[in-house]
Structure 1
Amino acid sequence: MAEKKQNKEAQEQAPAVNIDALLPELSNKNSDYVFKLRKFVKEAGATDAQEQAILEEFLPKILKDQHEGKPAAQVYGAPSLLADHILKSSGKKQGDKQPFWIETIDLGFSFLAIFSLIYGVMSFFAKNSKQDASGGLVSLILMSFFAAVVFTYFNRWLDMDKKKRPNMFLIIIAGVASVLLVSLVSVWLTNNVDTIVTRQMPAIAQLIVAALSYGAHFYLKRRFHLRNMFQTAPRARK
């Protein structure tokens, strides 16, 4: 009993792993691996304390393997897989689902940034207004957030049990019909409603919208720990 007590006290008095001292000892490959590992666990919503605990556990192991000529990728696989394994084993699932509307708004700003950037660059090189295919702000918002709804729903559809998924053929038909409808409404607004939010925007305005939209996407992604645009939808909690 006394021996167990002494061992416990020795463990409590053992110095914590000095992460700042260990990081410079990593090779270039392992340094990049740890950087990506930290990125994945933070994007999955891990707290600073959880990230600290992960580094304290794995940095000594990675350095030990490094001294034996084994890079971390060889021992643990891709950093995304290790992050997923760590978080699942600790009871936290990577990229837990957020409400549909939050993911949709985030993706909407992502698409708005992409579309605005593309149209803004195209406007710079357009020789005349006839070659400028960009629409107004309302049209861009319609297309962007409609695409976000479709993309978010598709991610949720992939995550469903295969036996419970709605018929893919019907979804494709509904999707194509909706795309055509939104496109027609966007074109009609640009050509027939002459207001500051419906007429074609100059290139600089497009680029400003792109920058603001990306800023909104970046904030939402950090605030709600959202997954990346092309990251597989996570499994729902049982």
Structure 2
Amino acid sequence: MTEKPVKEAEAVEEVVDVDALLGKLSKKNDEYVFKLRRILTDHQWSEERQKAVLQELLPEIITAQHQGKPATQLYGPVTEKANSLIHRPKKRKKVPFWLNGLDLTFLFSSMFGLVYGVMGYFNRNKPQTASGNGLMSLLLMAAVAGFAFAYYNEWSTKKKTDRRKTWQVMVMMVMVILVGSWAAGAVGMIKSPITSPMQWPVYLVVAVVTYGIHYLLKRRYHLRGLMAQ
């Protein structure tokens, strides 16, 4: 009966009262924070932006203050701390899983299109002038690979305590790729313009178009790369 209130309390985000904590600062720490805010103001930081930083720093300063450690010992010189705040990298916005998967789908589509196009070019003088998989099979394989890598990237960025075990992820990815390959092969057995092998220039067009879409998505939404970079 006592577990539920505890869990609910943990789920509620703690609100930091900046003004209250400022009143608890020692003279040295108060001077440190004053100088820090003055530097941030000189760099055109708004009051709201400064308050957000203080909500992060003040609890740490108060905790260290109770232990006899001033802010200078905790963070170093005020100019050094201010510089680290001003130039620290911005946090990436959380991107939906489906958008990462879609972006990587277009990337893999461009890779497959390029490979099939080059292969078709070198085999263009052979009797079978069309080689490679059809458009539907190509897109299906690209989607399987794209969403598999998107899941892996999302998994790899989580804390170790919050993610599945490595062997489970590897087994799952292998199974997904095998099923996707089987499905792509089954689709290729259907005779239609979008499932039959295409001429090599068409593959190169697919490669260019899908890479262009991948480039625009990555630039527009600041998406991570193939290996979460």
Matched, 1:198 2:199: no
Which residue, out of 105, 108, 124, partners 2:102?
105
Unpaired runs of 5+ residues, structure 1, are 1-11, 13-84, 233-238
Which residue, out of 174, 177, 189, partners 2:175?
177
Matched, 1:86 2:87: yes
Instruction: Name 2:223's counterpart in structure 1.
Output: 226
Q: In the alignment, is the contact (CA less than 8 A) between 1:122 and 1:132 conserved in 2?
A: no
Matched, 1:119 2:116: yes
Matched, 1:208 2:205: yes
Counterparts of residues 7-86 of structure 1 (less than 5 Å) = 86=87
* Structure 1 segments (4+ residues) deviating >6 Å: 129-132
Give the TM-score, by structure 1 length: 0.56
Residue identity in the other structure for 1:218: Y
- 2: CA distance between counterparts of 1:159 and 1:219? 24
Q: In the alignment, is the contact (CA less than 8 A) between 1:193 and 1:199 conserved in 2?
A: yes
Distance 1:186 1:175, change over 3 A: same
Any idea what SS the aligned residue of 2:198 has? coil
Distance 1:168 1:230, change over 3 A: closer
Deviation at 1:166, TM superposition (A): 0.8
Deviation at 1:199, TM superposition (A): 0.4
- 1: CA distance between counterparts of 2:204 and 2:165? 39
Instruction: Name 1:162's counterpart in structure 2.
Output: 160
Q: In the alignment, is the contact (CA less than 8 A) between 2:131 and 2:200 conserved in 1?
A: no
Residue identity in the other structure for 1:101: W
Unpaired runs of 5+ residues, structure 2, are 1-41, 43-85
Deviation at 1:136, TM superposition (A): 0.5
Distance 1:169 1:130, change over 3 A: farther
- 2: CA distance between counterparts of 1:189 and 1:168? 32
Distance 1:96 1:187, change over 3 A: same
Q: In the alignment, is the contact (CA less than 8 A) between 2:153 and 2:227 conserved in 1?
A: no
Instruction: Name 2:144's counterpart in structure 1.
Output: 146
Distance 1:230 1:175, change over 3 A: closer
Q: Select the structure with the greater relative contact order (CA < 8 A; seq sep ≥ 6).
A: 1
- The percentage of aligned residue pairs carrying the same residue is 33
Give the TM-score, by structure 2 length: 0.58
Q: Point out the structure with max Rg over C-alpha.
A: 2
Write out per-residue CA displacement over residues 52-97 of structure 1, whole angstroms, 9 at most, x where no aligned residue. xxxxxxxxxxxxxxxxxxxxxxxxxxxxxxxxx9343xxx21x433
Q: In the alignment, is the contact (CA less than 8 A) between 1:220 and 1:226 conserved in 2?
A: yes
Number of residue equivalences: 146
Matched, 1:96 2:93: yes
